Each structure stands twice: as structure tokens, then as C-alpha cells.
A and B are shown apart, each in its own frame.
Chain A
Amino acid sequence: LAKTTQPISMDSYEGQEVNITCSHNNIATNDYITWYQQFPSQGPRFIIQGYKTKVTNEVASLFIPADRKSSTLSLPRVSLSDTAVYYCLVGDTGRRALTFGSGTRLQVQP
């Protein structure tokens, strides 16, 4: 399985754009990139998934360069409620369950 590397923590202020980058140098051809968000004492929640280029939904954007060895989750205009841990996962349909890394702990301040 492709191993992922993310920053351990990030700090931001309300209203700023936050970009969290994940490295996955040995991503396989059939692998997709998926991001989850976890609040304290809750289960992770799906944010966004992509394969290449750019994906955008109502919550975030995901940028994936052509070589797919990294990806960047972009959160526009964060608020205090975006304070959470963000996990980047790489995996393929039907293969063994996705393995979570240590995640990035985002702290948003007023």
C-alpha cells in the first residue's frame, strides 16, 4: 500500500485559506486519493476524493499534479469549526482497507 506523509500540525486564522499537502511517492496506477476529517470524540468523515488534476465540492478542493506523487487539500476561508485532524489516504477499490496515517492537526484561531 502507498505510504502517505503529512505535516503533523498546522495553524491558521479564521477566514484564511488552508492548504494541506500529502506525499504519496509510491502511489499505484489504480489508487485514488481520499481525504477525511475527524473531530474529537467522533469518527472520521469523508471530505473529498480524486484521481488526478483538480476536484472541487462544496467543502474543499483537491489538487493532484500530473505525477500524482502528492496531493493538496485546500480549505477556503476556514472557520473555528474547521479545527480538526485531516487524514490523507491512498487506495484502490476492493483492495484491503485503507490505512490511516497520523493525520494533520489543524488549529484555527480567531
Chain B
Amino acid sequence: NAGVMQNPRHLVRRRGQEARLRCSPMKGHSHVYWYRQLPEEGLKFMVYLQKENIIDESGMPKERFSAEFPKEGPSILRIQQVVRGDSAAYFCASSPPSQGAMSGANVLTFGAGSRLTVL
């Protein structure tokens, strides 16, 4: 049973280009989360999605960033017109469907991350 798969592992873009990061959740997991991590910093929540539905995007920058999790295929984090400040590691995590209150908080399984470098 493969874990959370992210690709590409490394992506280099020039300023103004678009970056697309893909995430395939673990089998049986219906929730996907995206986090961003700058060097030597903690993980910043970006967006939480279920199939065809954005549950919480409070951590997403208002412009240039978007995410989707279609009925078929991986979740995609899209960054348009990248700037140098977008250079970071982007981690995807997945979790199984919630079992209801008091059954434990969602345990996240993380992928290895996609490292974006903007020149």
C-alpha cells in the first residue's frame, strides 16, 4: 500500500511561470491537506480538501494560489506567476474519513514533499 505520493520532488521555475504540484493520497483516504514549509520554519497550513470540495482554505494566499481535489486523479496545488518568496517545500498529507467526534483527531500521513525553487 503506497503512502502519500507527491510529484515532482523538485521543481525549478523562473519568476512569472506557473508551478503545479501533485499529490495522490493513501488508498482509502478521502481528505487531503497542503502545507508549506520555509527553511528552518514550521509547517504552515494552506488548504484542506475532500473530493471535489474545499473544506478550509483559510491558509491560502488570496492571489495566485489555488487547489483542487477532483473526483478522479490527484490533488493539485497550483501557483501562478511564481515569485522568489514562493520558494519552499510543499507537503501534502492525507487522512481517512472522520469516524465522528471523540474517536480521535485526524492522523495525517505526509508525503515526502515537493521542493519549489524560483529563480
CB <8 Å contact, A49 and B107: yes
Instruction: Give the residues in chain B near A49, CB-CB below 8 Å.
Output: 104-105, 107
Q: Which of B43, B100, B104 contacts A100 (CB 8 A)?
A: B43
Is A61 interfacial (CB-CB < 8 Å)?
Answer: no
Contact B43 A44 (CB under 8 A): yes
A47 CB to closest chain B CB (Å) equals 10
Which of B12-20, B77-85, B109-117 lies at the interface with chain A? B109-117
- Count, A-B residue pairs, CB within 8 A: 77
Main secondary structure of the interface of A (DSSP, over half): loop
Tell whether A87 pairs with B42 under 8 Å between CB atoms, given A31-B105, A42-B112, A43-B93.
Answer: yes
Interface residues of B (CB under 8 A from A): 4, 33, 35, 41-45, 48, 55-56, 58, 89, 91, 93, 98-113
Please choose the segment from A16-24, A75-83, A89-97 that sits at the chain B interface, where 4 or more of its residues have CB less than 8 A away: A89-97
Q: Among A30, A41, A89, A99, which residue has its beta carbon within 8 angstroms of that of B101?
A: A30
Centre residue among A34, A46, A94, A99 by max chain B CB count within 10 A: A94
Contact of B105 among A42, A91, A101, A102 (CB under 8 A): A91
